[in-house]
A and B are shown apart, each in its own frame.
Chain A
Amino acid sequence: MIKRISAITAALALATVGFIVPANAATTEADCGKAGAFCVGLVTDLGQIDDKSFNQSAWEGAQAGAKKAGGFAKYIETKDSKDYAKNIKLFADAGYNVIVTVGFLMGDASAAAAKLYPKVKFVGVDQFNATTEPNYTGLIFDEDKAGFLAGYLAGYLTKTNKVGAVFGMKEVLPVRKFGEGYENGIQYAAKQRSKKIRSSVVYHPAGDNAFSNPAWGATTANQLLTQGFDVIFGAGGSTGNGAIGKVAQKAGAFCIGVDIDQYYTVPEAKPCLVTSAEKKLVLGVSTLVGQAKAGTIKGGNFVGQVGLAPFHDLESKVPAAVKVRLKKTTTGVLAGSISTGFKG
């Protein structure tokens, strides 16, 4: 009787926690926890695994890393932010070797879990790791570099010499890094072209809805468009998506997406989307999973790569000479020989 009740409780607990779906790999789920097995568990932030954003990219990276290491990968979709610790525990108790947690918001839960399960390696995607736990690695990105490159391209694409941006709130560090990098990138291009280019970054007022206010994003983008701005960078969840979607309604204007290649996530922006200031999540996660397998992974923070996404439909709108210059600048920025001017 007790056994049956506990089985029902366990089933109910699983039901409230979310869906668990395995991926194919050499090792099977039953092997996890045994010697020689390599299992990678991924806990998503709120939202689906196929969100075409952070969750999906991190999951692709985890699968790629596990596959290369001959291991097994599985994910849990978080349905409620109160379940972060619970979901991590499910993997830890099952003897998983690596647990990938996705998103800035799960930082505290990951740090706490790392302390609790010293044998498990934790990879925190987009989490700045301030702890000294040797088994917790934050995967972070130089947003200022991605923003700088986006600004540089924008500075070459503008015909009106007015370049704008519509962002989430300034108080969030990655947003500010994108913004300052962007403005400095524009001025870098302006200097090369010996032109005066105006750059204006508009941040959403601080508040609960700063990253989920597409109507504000669209209206503000339109305000910039009616004043002659012809390249607009949108960054900040659905607020930014609203902005680039609006730019697409104006013929001849360009927009720039953020975080991942938004050509696939914001299809309404396709007509204007020249590129996205991208964080290479898939690569970063698979690299760290590989390091965990090899035993070379270190605590602290791992800086992932950034860059610009392909031009897609607007390939022909970017002059060949600009592409050459952009390539050169990209090399310089990523190597650190060109400063993004971000002061922190």
Chain B
Amino acid sequence: MKMLTKRNSYIFLALAATAFFYSRDGDITTSVYATGLAFALPLALAAMVGIMCERTGIVNIGIEGTMLISAFVAFFVAYLTQNIIIGLVASLLVGALMGFILALMAVSWRMDQIIAGTIINILATGLTSFLYVQGKTIPSVFQSFEIPLLSKIPFLGPVLFIHGALTFVGLAVILILYVGIYHTPWGLRSRAVGEHPSSADTAGVSVARLRYINVTIAGAIGALAGAYLALELVGSFERGFIAGKGFTALALMIFGRWNPLGALAAALFFGLTQAYASQLMIDQVVNIPSQFTAALPYILTIVILTISAGKVRPPAAEGQPYEKGQ
């Protein structure tokens, strides 16, 4: 294996930059990286929804709506029952239901998948705006806690190991998905269904069944992202709560080349630039116009995309309904 692959050189650059910033000011760098992770996690999880669906050949642009309605359910069930665990469970069920509805439209009814996703977005926006009631509170949020020993590691400890429960669950889901897609029979079958469904069918894989299962589970992952926002990061719900994260996630999925770790890295990069944009305003080190600092995450993203651009290739059977015998 070559040592100086493109990917390795990126990892090296990222580590070098981190070490440089940390040597300049350890506390601020730690705070910025922890903030970057908080920004990145919901985006990364939302990207996982896209990866899981598209890997099996279903385009899901209803991620925003799935997150919105599940954040809504998470918050209001937690309010009604005064229990955030019940809120979380209800949210995951509703997210799975959203996934199931998408699968129903895309697989069984063979609807245009862009329209199917749009239906979910419109449904979620309409329902949550209509049913929203202001002025409700939940008893608590998923509080940050320290993982013993690990949280004492300099820099990495406070960045990675002092968070609420849903952050840890979310990171675990991403790792599991990575292993699942590349190193299990389920992953192999899913990818086969996304690339060449008729071959997979011939080999005895039920295309429809696998698509149903994956899109439904993906819905639950989207719900985890929504619940993380409502029950851990913010602790409330407002109309339009997701603010476009479900769409940003689709770009991160492509940036990460449909690979869970790639999408996570893309989300972390985007989150970190946002945190640094805020940090420039907090520090007021130099008097940069705020318009520039605000545009920084986007400028950097374009620069990185331009440099790293290669050929990206989506799963071949993406967006096409599968009919036996075609």
Contact = CB atoms under 8 A, between A and B. Distances in A.
Interface of A: 50-52, 164, 169-170, 200-206, 208-209, 212-220, 222-224, 226-227, 238, 241-242, 245-246, 249, 264-268
8 contacts: A52-B135, A200-B281, A212-B243, A214-B236, A214-B238, A214-B241, A226-B30, A242-B234
Contacts of A222: 35, 38
A227 B27 contact: yes
A179 to B, nearest CB: 10
Contacts of A52: 134-135
B295 A205 contact: yes
Which of A214, A226, A249 lies at the interface centre, i.e. has the most chain B CB atoms within 10 A of its CB? A214
B108 interface: no
Contacts of A216: 39, 243, 274
B137 interface: yes
Contact of B294 (A206, A208, A224): A206
B238 A219 contact: no
A212 B239 contact: yes
Contacts of B243: 209, 212-216
Contacts of B282: 164, 200, 202, 223-224, 227
Which of A200, A209, A220, A222 lies at the interface centre, i.e. has the most chain B CB atoms within 10 A of its CB? A220
Which of A215, A218, A266 lies at the interface centre, i.e. has the most chain B CB atoms within 10 A of its CB? A215
A200 B134 CA distance: 30
B141 interface: yes
Interface string B270-294: 0000110111011110000011001
A219 B134 CA distance: 22
A265 B278 contact: no
Contacts of B233: 215, 218-219
A195 to B, nearest CB: 18
A147 to B, nearest CB: 17
A203 B277 contact: no
Which of B35, B134, B137 lies at the interface centre, i.e. has the most chain A CB atoms within 10 A of its CB? B134
A202 B243 CA distance: 18
A203 B294 contact: yes
Contacts of B170: none
A214 B230 CA distance: 10
A136 B282 CA distance: 41
